């Protein structure tokens, strides 16, 4: 029996984090982009993915809508469902981190406690919280999916920033406003942070 009474017995292999870094040429990280709908989280995450891939880095984006098509297709948007959604993604991100990858997670993730729980799954420094701190009015003016109009009309109850709370990070590793800062500059800020913390080597930024 496992420690919680279930028949679960985790097995640890002999491949170490150092082994994975030697093979991949870089360290692991989970970069967690949080912010309101329309803040630019997904656009930024996929742009960072392109830049890292071009630099020879093993990277993958976990995006809110994409994940809800499969892994979390059974979940709605009630508070408990939102918490479970982030719990599942956090566990996946932690596995990817253990595999030595850089994971770019793009989720509104409105509750601070949920994000802190994901951080706790990672070793110190392994979780990079990026608050895409684009003002609500800018997000609403963009309304790229037409969601704010529907939320204002009462068609989307529990919509973060309108009819449900969004708990902004208190001390994120990075705070970026895509309404004021260009996409290229935001990408550079993420890459520079990963380089400064030792995840990326000099050569990964050489061609930038």
Domains of the chain, by residue range, sit at 28-134+167-206
**pLDDT at residue 7 in the model:** 82
Nearest to 132 by CA among 142, 122, 123, 121: 142
Instruction: Say what the alpha-carbon torsion angle 193, 198, 202, 207 is, to the nearest 10 degrees.
Output: -40
**pLDDT at residue 5 in the model:** 63
**pLDDT at residue 1 in the model:** 42
In the three-class reduction of DSSP (H, G, I as helix; E, B as strand; rest coil), residue 127 is classed as strand
37: annotated active-site residue? no
The one catalytic residue in 37, 42, 106, 109 is: 109
CATH code reported for the domain at 28-134+167-206 = 3.40.50.300
Q: What is the pTM of this model?
A: 0.93
**pLDDT at residue 145 in the model:** 87
Q: What is the mean pLDDT of each run of 10 residues along the chain (208 residues)?
A: 66 91 97 97 97 97 91 92 96 97 97 98 96 96 92 93 95 97 98 97 85
């Amino acid at each position: 029996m496992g420690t919680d009474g279930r028949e679960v017995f985790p097995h640890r292999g002999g491949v170490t984090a150092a082994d994975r870094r030697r093979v991949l040429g870089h360290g692991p990280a989970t970069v967690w982009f949080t912010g309101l709908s329309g803040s630019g989280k997904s656009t930024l995450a996929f742009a960072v993915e392109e830049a890292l891939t071009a630099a020879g880095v093993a990277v993958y984006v976990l995006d809110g809508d994409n994940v809800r098509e499969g892994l979390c297709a059974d979940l709605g948007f009630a508070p408990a469902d939102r918490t479970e959604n982030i719990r599942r993604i956090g566990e996946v991100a932690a596995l990817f981190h253990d595999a030595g990858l850089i994971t770019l997670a793009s989720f509104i993730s409105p509750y601070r406690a949920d994000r802190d729980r994901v951080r706790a799954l990672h070793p110190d420094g392994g979780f990079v919280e990026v608050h895409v701190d684009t003002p609500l009015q800018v997000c609403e003016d963009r309304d790229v999916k037409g969601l704010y109009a529907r939320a204002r009309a009462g068609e989307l109850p529990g919509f973060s920033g309108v009819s449900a709370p969004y708990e902004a990070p208190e001390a994120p590793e990075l705070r970026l406003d895509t309404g004021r800062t260009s996409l290229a500059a935001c990408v550079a800020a993420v890459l520079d942070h990963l380089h400064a913390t030792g995840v990326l080597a000099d050569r990964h930024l050489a061609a930038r």
